[in-house]
């Protein structure tokens, strides 16, 4: 009986360590993506093509991390047959890595403005892009901090930051449209700029998704595709 109890304790301890390692892997991947965006901002500000190229190359590492984490999720499910909160954690990790990898893809699209010499020929638009990018970095950092602490209140606060990013995104689109009307010689460049601006907004949306996963993890309720008002109402039930 004692030996059986010790074996169960050993298995439980090992399982908890596997779950902790899984969470740490997501945070490491998130840290890589955050640094990717910071490097991209620097590359744009300095028009540094070599730094932007490094961002593109490093995306392969992020893609590989997604595959490794997914494989580990599948291995744990097959071996441990998790239930309840443990299963929610694994589901959250699997969903989160998909969004983090796609954030990496959006960052690469932005970095290509530098590598392909497609930076906006307007200081107003360039400044607007950099301002939004800085806000997105803050949102991303808050997202991963909330994930690390599994803090639902922080997740809700970060989620709401996206409204400001959406507002600045719409304003920048109008400014860009005005600049395009005054410059018909660089239309292809402007279209690439529009896609990059859209990518910044999408990164904010991906961070919102990650915040929703945190709420799913802590409350056990799926709040995807809901407004913040509905989310809070659903969590209070």
**What is the pLDDT tens value at each position of the chain, 237 positions in all?**
444 444 445 457 888 999 999 999 999 999 999 999 999 999 999 999 999 999 999 999 999 999 999 999 999 999 988 888 899 999 999 999 999 999 999 999 999 999 999 999 999 999 999 999 999 999 999 999 999 999 999 999 999 999 999 999 999 999 999 999 987 778 889 999 999 999 999 999 999 999 999 999 988 877 776 666 666 656 655
Domains in the chain: boundaries:
2-236
Domain 2-236 CATH superfamily:
Phosphate transport system protein phou homolog 2; domain 2 (1.20.58.220)
The 3-state secondary structure of 143-157 reads: HHHHHHHCCHHHHHH
Give every CB contact of residue 100 below 8 A, 6+ residues apart in sequence: 26, 29, 30, 33, 62, 66, 206, 210
Tell me the DSSP string of 185-236: TTHHHHHHHHHHHHHHHHHHHHHHHHHHHHHHHHH----TT--HHHHHHHHH
pLDDT for res 84: 86
CB 152 within 8 A of CB 89: no
């Amino acid at each position: 009986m004692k030996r059986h109890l010790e074996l169960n304790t050993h298995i439980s301890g090992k399982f908890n360590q596997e779950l902790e390692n899984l969470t740490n892997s997501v945070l490491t991947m998130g840290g890589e993506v955050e640094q990717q965006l910071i490097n991209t901002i620097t590359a744009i500000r300095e028009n540094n093509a070599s730094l932007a190229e490094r961002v593109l190359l490093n995306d392969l590492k992020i893609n590989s991390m997604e595959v490794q984490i997914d494989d580990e999720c599948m291995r744990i499910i097959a071996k441990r047959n998790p239930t309840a909160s443990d299963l929610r954690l694994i589901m959250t990790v699997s969903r989160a890595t998909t969004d983090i990898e796609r954030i990496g893809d959006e960052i690469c699209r932005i970095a290509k403005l530098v590598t392909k010499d497609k930076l906006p020929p307007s200081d107003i638009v360039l400044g607007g892009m950099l301002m939004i990018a800085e806000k997105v970095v803050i949102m991303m950092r808050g997202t991963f901090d909330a994930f690390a602490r599994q803090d639902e209140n922080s997740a809700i606060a970060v989620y709401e930051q996206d409204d400001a990013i959406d507002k600045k995104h719409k304003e920048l689109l109008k400014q860009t449209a005005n600049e395009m009307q005054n410059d018909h010689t660089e239309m292809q460049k402007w279209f690439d700029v529009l896609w990059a601006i859209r990518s910044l907004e999408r990164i904010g949306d991906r961070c919102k998704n990650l915040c929703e996963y945190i709420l799913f993890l802590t409350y056990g309720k799926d709040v995807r595709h809901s407004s913040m008002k509905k989310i809070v109402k659903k969590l209070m039930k």
